Every structure is written in C-alpha cells, then in structure tokens.
Amino acid sequence: MKEETVMNAHTWMKGSTVLFTIVLLAVAYITVPPAMAEARVEVVAGQFEFTPGRITAVAGRPLTLIFRTADVAHGVYIDGHGVDVVVEPGEEVVVTIVPAMAGKFKIRCSVTCGPLHPFMVGELVVEEQGLNPLFLGSLASLIIVGIGATAYAIRRYPRGSRDGET
C-alpha cells in the first residue's frame, strides 16, 4: 500500500508540474502589455522639420502615424515602408505600418515646401523585438517551482522508497 501511495504522489507531482509549465508558458506568450501592442505617434510637418524628428518602433509591431502640417502642404515618404502621402493644411493623414526589419530609415518631405526643402529629413528607428518581460518572469518562476518540487520529492521520497526500502 505504501508503494502505491509513493507512485501516486510521483504521478501527481509530474502531472501538476507539466500543467503548471503549460499555463505559465501560455500566459507568457499570449499576454502582451497594451502599451506594446500598437504604437501611435503624431507627426507634425512644418518648414523645415518633422516633429518628432526621430520615431522609434519595434519590428513586427503595428505603428500608426498621424500626420498633420503646421503651415503648407508637405509630403511624407518613408524609405523602405511604402509610405508616400501628401498632407494638406487642416487635414490629417493616418497611416499604419508594420516594420518588418530593424534599422534606421529616412523620413523625407516629398513635396517642395520652400528653399530648405532638401534638408527636411526625419528618422524612423526600428528596433528588434526583445523578450517579453512577462515571459522572463514566468520562466524564472518555473525554474524556482521546479527546483522546489525536486527538493521536496527528494526529501519526502528517498531513492529506495519505490522499492519498498525505507
């Protein structure tokens, strides 16, 4: 009877550890903080700059750009992302992109807007997607629980207890 109890405890411990692992990994991969889901940036084009001059995004995450002009008509062209729009005074142009690769990309005015037009340049910086902090926390918890369960099993059920030895 004692051997059957030991076997049931081992089976239960293995099953609960596997279930706990699956739940932690599911939470880590599914949960994305709302701030990381989609970025929205308002960009104002004015003679002869974009404000902000540098936009940071994460590869693989949607980026919505809301363009306005402070003075005259401006064009917005973003290298490598298929964005080429014209923003008229009083209008708002909304563009959503999903940057595919990391790097630095120029944002240029594509409509002649004055004598310093060639110098109206901004920058889109796309960073690699890092590890989800929730995933790292879940992984650390999983390691701690695994070590604790192993230590408990070793102390509670010595090696020879399966064979009926005490």
Separation between Cα atoms, residue 135 and residue 25, nearest integer Å: 7
Q: What is the pLDDT of residue 35?
A: 45
Please give the pLDDT value at position 31.
52
* Phi and psi, residue 117, nearest 5°: -50, -45
The verdict on 114 and 40 lying in the same domain is yes
Q: Within the chain, which residues score under 50 in pLDDT?
A: 1, 34-35, 163-164, 166
CA-based end-to-end distance of the chain: 14
Number of domains in the chain: 2
Tell whether 55 is covered by a domain.
yes
**69 within a domain of the structure (yes/no):** yes
Tens-place pLDDT, residues 9-26: 566 666 666 666 676 666
How distant, in Å, are the alpha carbons of 25, 137, 138, 148, 162 from that of 29?
6, 12, 10, 24, 38
Is 96 a domain residue? yes
Q: Are residues 114 and 40 part of one domain?
A: yes
Q: Do 27 and 59 share a domain, yes or no?
A: no
Same domain, 26 and 41: no
Give per-residue pLDDT as tens, 101-115: 999 999 999 999 999
Same domain, 89 and 18: no
Residue 34: the pLDDT is 46
Residues 142 and 67 occupy one common structural domain? no
Please answer whether residues 63 and 99 qualify as being in contact, where contact means their C-beta atoms are separated by less than 8 angstroms: yes
> Which residues constitute the domain of residue 108?
34-127
Dihedral angle sign, alpha carbons of residues 54, 61, 73, 121:
positive
Is the CB of residue 45 less than 8 Å from the CB of residue 87? yes
Q: Kindly report the CATH number assigned to the domain that includes residue 43.
A: 2.60.40.420
| Average pLDDT of the chain to the nearest whole number | 81
Supply the pLDDT for residue 19.
67
